[in-house]
Structures are given as structure tokens and as C-alpha cells.
Amino acid sequence: DAGVIQSPRHEVTEMGQEVTLRCKPISGHNSLFWYRQTMMRGLELLIYFNNNVPIDDSGMPEDRFSAKMPNASFSTLKIQPSEPRDSAVYFCASSFTSFSEAFFGQGTRLTVV
Amino acid sequence: RKEVEQDPGPFNVPEGATVAFNCTYSNSASQSFFWYRQDCRKEPKLLMSVYSSGNEDGRFTAQLNRASQYISLLIRDSKLSDSATYLCVVNSGGNTGKLIFGQGTTLQVKP
């Protein structure tokens, strides 16, 4: 298996633009997580899905952020409109069950200028 | 109070030293515990799971104290290649699998 695949690896965009981050979890994994990492705040859980259903989105910063998981093999995290303070590394991770370890993608490094 | 707390360090130790990290968690219903390692500009990777009875993997030993709600990681005979950030991870409880990460502890092993 190729592991968790995220795209793009790097994204530079202007303030106000829409940004879409993509994730393909490991086949057969039932849980999918979106995290954001910054130096100041560390790894923050934004939202996670179980069997394609959003379970907890309390970590989503505000209405500008939205996430979807239309099927078991694909998820998106969208920021509209983007702001400079959204600049961070965004990680997607998946796990086989609710209690097992999560495997991470390589992340998307987002810079909003 | 944060759900998972770690001393951010940095811990600067010489090669061959033994170093220990602790982590506390707030949700007593938590059921799964892990240590992850993260290298600079890389994704976190699983180092080891933490079991109630304690477990060892080579130079690494992890322990769980449910009564005091803390987890520890011991690294013996540290190597230069052990330099990284070590993240404590806790499943927040219930059957929903919410994995919460600590801020991480930075270890720098020096020659």
C-alpha cells in the first residue's frame, strides 16, 4: 500500500483565495483525521471521520473551513476565503479502527500571502 | 487544561545517556495510548503503542499509569539518530477514536 496520500505537497496562495487540500487514506481504514500543525500551537485536530461520517468538527477554526468525505477513499479540506493566519502544515491521517494507531500523509505546506 | 500535556524541552543529552519523557492526560476514559516520533519537516510516525503492562522495543520502554493518568517513554543508550520530537498521543475515550496529540518533547542528542 502506498500509505496516506496528500496533495498538493506545497501550496502558495493569495489571501482571499479558495484552497482545497486532498487526501486518500489507506485502503480499508475506517477513520480519517485532518490535523493542522504550527510552531505555536503544535498538532491540532481539526475534524475526523468514521466510516465517512464526520464525528467531531469542534477543532475547525471557523466557518471558512469545511471538510468532506464523499467516499472511503477520498477526503477534502477546503478553506474559503484563505487568510495569512491559515499558513501551516496540514496533515491527513487514517487508522484501521477507532482505537488503533494513525498513519500520516506527508502533509501539505500551505502559505497564504 | 490541555487534554494531553508534555514538557516541550528541549532535552539536550550526550550520546549514550538515558532520557525519560512524561506525558499527562485529562480524560480518564482514554483507552489507547501511543508515542510518535516527528523529524523536522516530516510527518509524525508511530514509535510504539503503550500497553497497561508496559512494553519494551529495543532501547525504548513505554509505561502507562492509569491511576495517575500519565505515560512515560524511556530511551536508553541514546543515539544521535534519536534526535527528534516525541509526541504523546491519547485516544480521548469512547468509541469514536479521537486521537489527541501533545505538543511534543524535543530531544537533541549530542556527540
Report pLDDT digits (tens) over B66-107. Answer: 999 999 999 999 999 999 999 999 987 666 678 899 999 999
Q: What is the pLDDT of residues B28-46, one digit of tens each?
A: 888 889 999 999 999 999 9
The pairing of strands A10-13 and A108-112 is: parallel
Arithmetic mean of pLDDT over chain A: 95
Q: How far apart are CA B92 and CA A90, in angstroms?
A: 21
Q: Check pLDDT > 90 for residue A17.
A: yes
DSSP A46-79: EEEEETTEEEE-TT--STTEEEEEEETTEEEEEE
Number of A:B CB contacts under 8 A? 56
CB distance B43–A101 less than 8 Å?
no
Task: Give the HSE-up count for residue A50: Cα atoms under 13 Å, Cβ half-sphere.
Answer: 12
CB distance B104–A42 less than 8 Å?
yes
> Which residues pair with residue B71 across a beta bridge?
B23, B64
Closest CB to A101 among B31, B34, B96: B34
CB distance B104–A43 less than 8 Å?
yes
* CA distance to partner chain B, nearest, from residue A31 (Å): 8
Q: pLDDT > 70: what percent of chain A?
A: 99
Closest CB to B95 among A42, A43, A98: A98
Instruction: Tell me which chain B residues have a C-beta less than 8 angstroms from the C-beta of A106.
Output: 42-43
Backbone φ and ψ of B4, nearest 5°: -135, 125
Instruction: Tell me which chain A residues have a C-beta less than 8 angstroms from the C-beta of B45.
Output: 104
- Identify the burial level of B35 via C-beta atoms within 10 angstroms of its C-beta, where 0-12 means exposed, 13-18 middle and 19 or more buried: buried
CB distance B87–A50 less than 8 Å?
no
Whether B88 has its CB under 8 Å from any CB of chain A: the answer is no
